[in-house]
Amino acid sequence: MSDNGNGLRLEGRKLVVTGGARGIGYAIARAATRAGAAVALIDLEQASVEEAATKLRSEVNGAEVVTEVCDVSSYEQVSGAERALEARWGRTDTLVNNAGIAHHAPAETMSVAEWDRMLQVNLSGVFYCSQVFGVPMIAAGSGAIVNIASMSGLIVNRPQPQVAYNVAKAGVIMLTKSLAAEWAPHGVRVNAVAPGYTRTDLIEHLVDTDMCRDYWIGGTPLGRMGSTDEIANSVLFLASDAASFVTGETLVVDGGYTLW
């Protein structure tokens, strides 16, 4: 996308965020609406995504928010969500692939079903959404995609065993590079954010544990976990025209964790 002088503003944009009902996804949606974008929240459950949309409208005055229920691991559901959104608001020009799951299991005892599910959601789902929403971007000659990877795609975390998660997130990083290279001639930028340990409701119960204190926070040079807003602000940069000459990059936002 060309530099239109708006910097980090997203006026006129139609941005889809998968896994947008909670946590990092919700923070991304909130940052995008505050920057002027119309936002579509995609998530698994009707009740939770509608609740998130209502909350977002109350937090950001004048926010344009629509919702779709979709399992990103289903190509058919992703295609259906894209068609529904196109009918409601036209072409999506910005996509944030945030939906994902986490699971800890030793490699020697992990079931095939656990392995397959992790890669289907965290890697195949990113490709499905990128292809389905990216084809119209290619046709239009512009677009921006930001994938949520993880520092786990670059290192092996301690102490939890999570081989499938690590592999999937490494795949997201390479998928980002590959799509960026293929789609740059069509005016579509593809980047990623690789968060470190981020404080969300889903891991709040672990914050006071020895594992969190000794490994997660203790292993982070800045001495704390990140906030969802800090991840969202990084996504906002890559999605905006402030990053108009940036593609194929993975921005690591981990408080320095991968330095050691």
Instruction: Show the 3-state SS of 170-182.
Output: HHHHHHHHHHHHH
Q: What phi and psi, each to the nearest 5 degrees, are found at residue 60?
A: -120, 105
Question: 165 catalytic, yes or no?
Answer: yes
Q: Which two tokens stand for residue 252?
A: 């690591």
pLDDT at residue 108, as a whole number: 97
The shares of helix, strand and coil residues in the chain, as percent rounded to the nearest 5, are: 50, 15, 35
Which member of 128, 165, 197, 257 is catalytic?
Answer: 165
Beta strands across the sheet bearing 65-69: 65-69, 38-43, 14-18, 94-97, 143-148, 188-195, 250-253
Whether the model clears a pTM of 0.85, i.e. scores above it, the answer is yes
Which residues, 6 or more positions from 232, have their beta carbon under 8 angstroms from its beta carbon? 24, 27, 28, 30, 31
pLDDT for the residue numbered 7: 66
Furthest C-alpha separation in the chain: 53
Below-70 pLDDT ranges, the chain? 1-7
Name, in order, each residue with C-beta under 8 angstroms of 113's C-beta and a sequence gap of 6 or more.
none
- The answer to whether the CB of 125 falls within 8 A of the CB of 45 is no
Q: Show the DSSP H helices in the chain as ranges.
A: 23-34, 46-59, 75-89, 112-119, 125-140, 163-183, 210-211, 228-239
| Nearest residue to 173 via CA among 143, 151, 198, 158 | 151
Q: What is the pLDDT of residue 248?
A: 98
Q: What is the DSSP letter of 67?
A: E
pLDDT of residue 119: 98
Q: Where are the domains positioned within the chain?
A: 14-252
Pick the CATH number of 14-252 from 3.40.50.720, 3.40.50.150, 3.30.70.260, 3.40.50.300: 3.40.50.720
pLDDT digits (tens, 9 = 90+) for 68-96: 999 999 999 999 999 999 999 999 999 99
Q: Is 45 helix (H, G, I), strand (E, B) or coil?
A: coil
Look over the chain and give the mean of its residue pLDDT values, rounded to a whole number.
Answer: 95
Question: How far, in Å, CA of 83 to CA of 88, rounded?
Answer: 9
Q: What is the Cα–Cα distance from 72 to 70, expressed in whole angstroms?
A: 6
